Amino acid sequence: MKQHRTRTGESPPTSGPPAAPPPSVSAMEHAPREEPPEVASSAVPGLRSSMLTGLFVIAAVAALYFAKPVIMPVVLAVLLSFLLAPIVNLLGHIRIPPALAAALVLAGVITVVAGGISQLITPVSEWMDALPAQLEKIEGEIGTFRRPIESVERATEHVEEMATAPDSAPAADKPVQVEVQGQSMTDVILTELQGFVILLILIVALLYFLLASGDHFLQKLVKVQDSLSRKKLAVDIVRQIKSDVSTYLLAVTLINCGLGVATGIAMYLLGMPNPLLWGVMAAILNYIPYLGALVGTAVIGLAAAAQFDSLAAILLVPAVFLILTTLEGYIITPLILGARLMLSPVVIFIGLIFWGWLWGVPGALIVVPVLVTMKIICDRIEALRPVGEFLGQ
């Protein structure tokens, strides 16, 4: 047998097809680079979608802020229509036309509100007349705590005057102080009152047309949908919003009225003047979550400090009010509304900060109904269900 010998440094022959030559450097440089398919197909569109969503949110917030005089009356009128629509529908069952039913409901509401305001004019005016004397009394009571601090401040100012060299500059070289006078308090009040009256007129007018139109806008919304499933979804969302928001507003209104009655009775038993005024204040402030109870406690505490001389009596009045609001917020309201309409306290607090910054006091009043509406919409749209889960308790 013949044996094949290989030279030194030569590799033995291998069977199979010959190996392809390695690519040159220039070929590797000019070869097209292939990206992973998931980076090109999912990462870039996802980033683009997130950027578009962020821009949309910024534009929406800017529109809500700068278009406040236009959007705020619309939102308030829509929320009030949810509250009053069941009454209009009830009148419709007895063959009263929607336009007449809406006029009757609005006339009744305006009469009740005007009657309540007329009953409050006398105690409010008495309280405002006695306010300077009450503030002077409160200042005298807390003066004992300020005297040590004031003595230290006077001593510090005396030392600074001794250490400062006298001013030898001529009077002509001293800067001239210019006093800029702003608007008087009367002008500010008249301006705010004018804006409030215009806002009230717009809300009442728009509320009438919303109540008189009935389901007209719902029919238009269903008509513009392009499929039967979308039509059913639109009807379900709108009816659920009307039902839940009207239930919430009606329940909260009744609860706040009960809190106002309980506060008025408690203030009367504790010897506070004008118990009707404090009851109405408690009912109105309770529409603002968290912040309303704190403001009410502070105001009633100051009024008690001006009314009583005993520290125990001064502390008892705000303590009783705080107990009433705590029982309402943590026991009565959750028991009546149930878990279906309950929102996360963190979300409510964040919404209170946001809407309060955006629209002031009206924004703080509508924060919970707006969040309830958002939760209903998010719970019924597949892509927004994680947001609805986040809003819930």
CA-CA distance, 369 to 354, in Å (whole number)? 14
How sure is the predictor about 214, in pLDDT bands with cuts at 50, 70 and 90?
confident
What pLDDT score does 262 carry?
Answer: 94
Bigger pLDDT: 276 vs 185? 276
Sign of CA dihedral 293, 294, 299, 303: positive
Q: Judge whether 306 and 135 are in contact, CB under 8 Å.
A: yes
The whole-chain average pLDDT of the chain stands at: 77
Is the pLDDT confidence value at 131 over 70? Answer: no
Bigger pLDDT: 151 vs 190? 190
Is the pLDDT confidence value at 9 over 50? Answer: no
Flag whether 131 is in a domain: yes
Query: Which of 112-116, 119-123, 153-157, 176-180 shows the lowest per-residue confidence on average (mean pLDDT)?
Result: 176-180
Please provide residue 353's backbone torsions phi and psi, each rounded to the nearest 5 degrees.
Answer: -65, -45
Residue range of the domain that includes 93:
67-142+199-214
Bigger pLDDT: 40 vs 142? 142
Flag whether 304 is in a domain: no
Is the pLDDT confidence value at 363 over 70? Answer: yes
The two structure tokens encoding residue 178: 């210019």
Rg (C-alpha) for the chain, rounded Å, is 35
Buried b / exposed e over 40-61, threshold 16 CB at 10 Å, is eeeeeeeeeeeeeeeeeeeeee
Flag whether 205 is in a domain: yes
Query: Which of 104-118, 170-184, 299-313, 339-353 shows the lowest per-residue confidence on average (mean pLDDT)?
Result: 170-184
Query: Which of 12-26, 45-59, 88-102, 364-378 shows the lowest per-residue confidence on average (mean pLDDT)?
Result: 12-26
Flag whether 147 is in a domain: no
Query: Which of 279-288, 308-317, 340-349 shows the lowest per-residue confidence on average (mean pLDDT)?
Result: 340-349
pLDDT digits (tens, 9 = 90+) for 256-296: 999 999 999 999 999 888 888 899 999 999 888 888 889 99
Report, as an integer, the average pLDDT of 312-337: 88
pLDDT digits (tens, 9 = 90+) for 88-111: 888 888 888 988 999 999 999 899
Flag whether 79 is in a domain: yes
Q: Indicate the burial class of 392 (C-beta count within 10 angstroms; 0-12, 13-18, 19 or more).
A: middle
Please state the domain count of the chain. Answer: 1
Flag whether 115 is in a domain: yes
Bigger pLDDT: 377 vs 256? 256
Is the pLDDT confidence value at 181 over 80? Answer: no
- On the CB side of 322, CA atoms within 13 Å amount to 12
Is the pLDDT confidence value at 133 over 80? Answer: no
Amino acid at residue number 18: P
Helix (H, G, I), strand (E, B) or coil at 392: strand
CA-CA distance, 182 to 180, in Å (whole number)? 6
Report, as an integer, the average pLDDT of 225-239: 80
Flag whether 271 is in a domain: no
Report, as an integer, the average pLDDT of 353-359: 88
Is the pLDDT confidence value at 55 over 80? Answer: yes
End-to-end CA distance of the chain: 91
Flag whether 306 is in a domain: no
Please choose, from the candidates 113, 368, 380, the residue with its C-alpha nearest in 3D space to the C-alpha of residue 251: 368
What pLDDT score does 176 carry?
Answer: 52
Q: Indicate the burial class of 307 (C-beta count within 10 angstroms; 0-12, 13-18, 19 or more).
A: middle
Sign of CA dihedral 98, 101, 105, 106: positive
CA-CA distance, 376 to 354, in Å (whole number)? 20
**C-alpha angle 147-149-153 in degrees, rounded to nearest 5:** 115
State how far Cα 171 lies from the chain centre. 55
Share of the chain above pLDDT 70, in %: 71
CA-CA distance, 291 to 289, in Å (whole number)? 6
DSSP annotation of 384: G
Please choose, from the candidates 200, 199, 206, the residue with its C-alpha nearest in 3D space to the C-alpha of residue 69: 199
Task: State pTM to two decimals.
Answer: 0.68
**C-alpha angle 78-80-81 in degrees, rounded to nearest 5:** 60
Q: Quickly count: other Cβ atoms within 10 Å of residue 102's Cβ.
A: 26
Report, as an integer, the average pLDDT of 24-37: 51
The two structure tokens encoding residue 174: 């001293």
